[in-house]
Amino acid sequence: MQEFAVILVSSILINNYVLVQFLGLCPFMGVSKKLESAIGMSAATTFVLTLTAMASYIVNELVLMPLGLIYLRTIAFILVIAAVVQFTKMFIEKTSPLLYRVLGVFLPLITTNCAVLGVALQNASKDLNFMQSSLYGFGAGAGFSLVLILFSAMRERLAAADIPQPFEGAAIAMITAGLMSLAFMGFSGLV
């Protein structure tokens, strides 16, 4: 139990995927202008991350390792991710058209979110068991969601700020992310 808590705290706060590990930055910058879309993106990404962590664990343990094909990890995982994303899309569309309308547009973007491949690769190199892998996947997603949602609320606020012209848009968003990352350094050493 404690181990799980440690994994979660570590992947959400201390080694936050976005602010500390620099993974998933493109959607972080791209889909954070509106709170609503950030929430949608977060939900979709967390779901895909968790599922990918599980699926890539299986592929890695059952196919790549026994066959000595570790060098094919990258390509195998990216295929797995694409499949998971596709599957998620179908699944959601089938089960909840409402949810699909909210999340649908975000799903294709997730394929090229490096957080997803990052989780798969990191898990594979860390030699974890299935439960741990899934938890890392979920934690990564939760951490991504946390900062994405807070960041988008902040960017909405910045929309009316009197920002010097050259800094408007991407530049100030970067600087804001920098200050957020500064704040997140406070979590170092927690576990």
Partner 1 sequence: MAFKQISSPHGHNPQSTSWVMQLVLLSTLPGFIALSYQFGWGTFINLIIAVMTSLVAEAAMLALRNRPIAFYLKDYSAAVTAVLLALALPPLASWWVVVVGSLFAIVVAKQLYGGIGHNPFNPAMVGYVVLLISFPIEMTTWVTPISLLPEGVQHPGLWESLSIVFAGNTPIDGITGATPLDVFKHSSGLVVDQIYHDEALFNQASFAGVGWEWVNVGFLIGGIILLKTRIFTWHAPLAMLGTLALMSILFWDSGSSASPGSPVMHLFSGASMMGAFFILTDPVSSAVSNRGRFIYGSLIGLLVYVIRAWGNYPDAVAFAVLLGNFAAPFIDNYTLPRTYGHTARRKATDKGEDE
Partner 2 sequence: MSDTTAREVTENGLWHNNPALVQLLGLCPLLAVSSTMANALGLGLATMMVLIGSNTIVSLIRNHVNDAVRLPVFVIIIATFVTCAELLMKAYTYDLYQILGIFVPLIVTNCAILGRAEAFASKNNVSLAALDGFMMGMGFLLVLVALGAIRELLGQGTLFLDMHLLFGPIAANWLIQPFGPNYSFLIIVLPPGAFLVTGLLIALKNIIDNVLRTRADESRDKPIKGAKRVRTTGHIS
Partner 3 sequence: MIDTIAQHPMLAALIALVSLGVIFGGLLGFAAEKFKVHGDPIVEQIDNLLPQTQCGQCGFPGCRPYAQSIADGDAINKCPPGGQNTINAIANLLDVPAPALDEEHGEEEEIKTIAYIREDECIGCTKCIQACPVDAILGAAKLMHTVIVSECTGCDLCVEPCPVDCIDMLPVVQGIVQWHWPTPPATIDLIATSKMSSQEDAA
Tell me which residues touch partner 2 (CB under 8 A): 19-26, 28-30, 71-75, 78-79, 82, 111-114, 116-118, 121-122, 125, 165-168, 170-175, 177-179, 181-182, 185
Q: What's the one-letter identity of residue 22?
A: F
SS3 of residue 113 by DSSP: coil
* Short-list 150, 134, 185, CA closest to 19: 185
| CB-nearer residue toward partner 2: 119 or 135 | 119
Rounded CA separation 173/162 (Å): 14
Q: Which residues contact 138 (CB under 8 A, 6 or more apart)?
A: 8, 46, 49, 50, 53
Q: Judged by CB under 8 A, which of 95, 154, 169, 173 binds partner 1?
A: 154
Q: Helices 2-9 and 130-158, interaxial angle, to 10°?
A: 40
102 interacts with partner 3 by CB under 8 A: no
Say which entry of partner 1, ligand FES, partner 3, none residue 30 contacts (CB below 5 to 8 A, set by partner kind).
Answer: partner 3
- Terminus-to-terminus CA distance in the chain, angstroms? 14
At closest approach, how far in Å is the CB of 178 from partner 1?
9
Q: Does residue 83 belong to the site contacting ligand FES (CB under 6 A)?
A: no
- Binding residue (CB under 6 A) for ligand FES from 6, 8, 25, 43: 25
Name residue 142's amino acid.
A
> Using the rule CB under 8 A, which residue among 35, 72, 102, 109 binds partner 1?
35
Is 70 one of the binding residues for partner 3 (CB under 8 A)? no
2 binds, among partner 2, partner 1, partner 3, none (CB under 5 to 8 A by kind): none
Backbone angles phi, psi at 176, to 5 degrees: -60, -45
> What is the contact surface with ligand FES in residues (CB under 6 A)?
24-26, 113-114
